[in-house]
Structure 1
Amino acid sequence: MEKIALITDSTSDMTKETVGRYDVKILHYRIIYKDREFTDRINITPKYVYDNMDREIPTSSLPSIDEMESLFNSLQHQGYTHAIVITLSGGLTGILNGVKLVSENYPQIKTYIYDSKSISMGEGIIVEECAKLIKKGMNFDEIVSRLPALRKRLHLYFVVGTLEYLKKGGRIGKVAGTIAELLNIKPIVAIDTNDGKYFTYDKVRGRKKSLNRIVEIADSILKNKKCRMCVLHGCALEDSQKVYNQIKKHPNVVSASFGGDISPVAGVHSGPGLVGLVLFEEE
Structure 2
Amino acid sequence: MEKIALITDSACDIDEETLKKYKVHVLPFKIIYKEREYTDGIDITPQEVYINMKTEIPTSSQPAMEDIEKLYQKLQEENYTHVISINISSGISGTVNGVALISSQYPEIRTFLYDTKSTSAIQGILVKQCGELIEKGIEFEEIVKAIPEMKKKVHMYFVFGTLEYAIKGGRIGKISGTIGDILNIKPIVSFDDEFGQCYTCEKIRGRVKSINRLIEMGEKYTAKNKCDAYVIHGNVEEDAVKICSRLRMNPGIRNVYLIGQISAIVGVYCGPGTVGVCYAEV
Verify: 1:120 aligned to 2:124, yes or no: no
Percentage of pairs with the same residue: 49
Cα offset for 1:170? 1.9
The aligned length equals 282
Tell me the equivalent position of 1:267: 267
Native 8 Å contact 1:186 1:210 kept in 2: yes
Cα offset for 1:237? 1.5
Q: 1:239 and 1:115 mapped to 2: Cα distance?
A: 30
Cα offset for 1:35? 1.0
| Cα 1:56/1:174, change in 2 over 3 Å | closer
Cα offset for 1:89? 1.5
Residues 202-217 of structure 1 correspond to what in structure 2 (within 5 A)? 202-217=202-217
- Structure 1: give runs of 5+ residues left out of the alignment: none
Native 8 Å contact 1:50 1:267 kept in 2: yes
Native 8 Å contact 1:173 1:199 kept in 2: no
- Structure 2: give runs of 5+ residues left out of the alignment: none
Tell me the equivalent position of 2:65: 65
Corresponding letter in the other structure for 2:119: I
Residues 188-203 of structure 1 correspond to what in structure 2 (within 5 A)? 188-203=188-203
Alpha-carbon displacement from aligned partner over 1:157-188 (angstroms, at most 9, x marks no partner):
01001111112112237994222222211100
Tell me the equivalent position of 2:140: 140
Q: 1:233 and 1:219 mapped to 2: Cα distance?
A: 21
What is the TM-score with the length of structure 2 in the denominator? 0.96
SS of corresponding position for 1:177 = helix
Q: 1:16 and 1:79 mapped to 2: Cα distance?
A: 25
Q: 1:175 and 1:259 mapped to 2: Cα distance?
A: 33
32-41 or 167-176, which moves further after superposition?
167-176
Alpha-carbon displacement from aligned partner over 1:207-237 (angstroms, at most 9, x marks no partner):
1110111111123322222001111100221
SS of corresponding position for 2:60 = strand
Q: 1:153 and 1:74 mapped to 2: Cα distance?
A: 33
Q: 1:136 and 1:225 mapped to 2: Cα distance?
A: 24
What is the TM-score with the length of structure 1 in the denominator? 0.96
Q: CA RMSD in A?
A: 1.5
Q: 2:47 and 2:133 mapped to 1: Cα distance?
A: 35
Tell me the equivalent position of 2:248: 248
